[in-house]
Chain A
Amino acid sequence: KAGVTQTPRYLIKTRGQQVTLSCSPISGHRSVSWYQQTPGQGLQFLFEYFSETQRNKGNFPGRFSGRQFSNSRSEMNVSTLELGDSALYLCASSITGRGDEQYFGPGTRLTVT
């Protein structure tokens, strides 16, 4: 079974631009969660989608948004990029998102200059 895939793996953007990251979950998994990883703040939860609905949201500004499609693939968007948005963005999928194992993708490394 294929694992969680994230595209692109690396991205360089300029302040003020917007960016869209993509995540394809494991087949059969309906829950997709997004996490931001930085050296200073560590791993922080962004949001979780289940059956195309945002079920939970972390403490991030409205510039961070996401969506999920009917095939469970998910995208996250960051508008008006700031230098502090430079991070590794990790996507994780699980069958139910109710405490069952979350499988992580390799992440997208976003650098904002």
Chain B
Amino acid sequence: AQSVTQLDSQVPVFEEAPVELRCNYSSSVSVYLFWYVQYPNQGLQLLLKYLSGSTLVKGINGFEAEFNKSQTSFHLRKPSVHISDTAEYFCAVIRAGAGSYQLTFGKGTKLSVIP
């Protein structure tokens, strides 16, 4: 079975500073990788996804992530954060080509942007 580890439960960062949210996964087979964002009292919104091809993936709101197969990582980055980026971020995987395509989520990282 696959698992996802988000290394930081909380990340405070000053406005306009860069941020990296770390995600590592374990799986014996190929995976699809996702980052979701959850604002308070809302559902999840997809930021970006990696299915295949280029390992650098660009998403919405200026976020990007890089798939590193050798390190089994999929870290999320943004060069300059805004107050509106304050939210909880979830990394998730799906086993590619498997019979079951449910998302397995990490525990989440709460990003707090400080004015």
Chain A residues with CB under 8 Å of chain B are 4, 33, 35, 42-45, 48, 55-56, 58, 90, 92, 97-99, 101-107
Contacts and interface: CB of A to CB of B under 8 A. Distances in A.
A101 B105 contact: no
Interface of B: 32, 36, 41-46, 49, 51, 90, 92, 94, 96, 99-108
B108 A45 contact: no
A32 B90 CA distance: 20
11 contacts: A42-B105, A42-B106, A56-B99, A97-B101, A99-B101, A101-B46, A101-B49, A102-B103, A104-B45, A106-B43, A107-B43
Nearest to A109: B41
Q: From DSSP, what is the main secondary structure of chain B's interface residues?
A: loop
Contact of B105 (A43, A99, A103): A43
Contacts, number: 53
B100 A56 contact: yes
A56 B100 CA distance: 6
